[in-house]
Amino acid sequence: AQKVTQAQTEISVVEKEDVTLDCVYETRDTTYYLFWYKQPPSGELVFLIRRNSFDEQNEISGRYSWNFQKSTSSFNFTITASQVVDSAVYFCALSEYGNKLVFGAGTILRVKS
């Protein structure tokens, strides 16, 4: 069965620090998709990135970067030079080819000025 584990319940950093959010997944499928979502204090869920199981290239988008490693079943998310506006709950999610989409428990990120 598919499963996503975000072991870090809450992380607090000071502005401008780098922070990495961990995501470990379990699946029996060879074709699957991984996602990261952000939920700011306003409550909406905002899509950040999608990765398929055949594309292990890391990705960078501004201050955000993602490290996908199939060998360790991990899809970690790093924010460089964090800002107060990055304070949110971040969710990692996994979709197998059958399209059941499951989420991890989320990591609360608090960035203090």
Partner 1 sequence: DAGITQSPRHKVTETGTPVTLRCHQTENHRYMYWYRQDPGHGLRLIHYSYGVKDTDKGEVSDGYSVSRSKTEDFLLTLESATSSQTSVYFCAIKQGADTEAFFGQGTRLTVV
Q: Which residues of 55-83 are buried (b: 16+ CB within 10 A; e: fewer)?
A: eeeeeeeeebbbbbeeeebbbbbbbeebe
Which positions from 36 to 75 touch partner 1 by CB under 8 A, shown as an x/- string?
-------xxx-x--x-x-----------------------
Q: Which of 66, 82, 94, 106 binds partner 1 (CB under 8 A)?
A: 106
CB of 72 to partner 1, least distance (A): 21
Measured between alpha carbons, how far is 58 from 27 in angstroms, rounded to an integer? 20
State which residue, 46 or 84, has the beta carbon closest to partner 1. 46
Binding site for partner 1 (CB under 8 A): 6, 9, 31, 33, 35, 43-45, 47, 50, 52, 91, 93, 95, 97-106
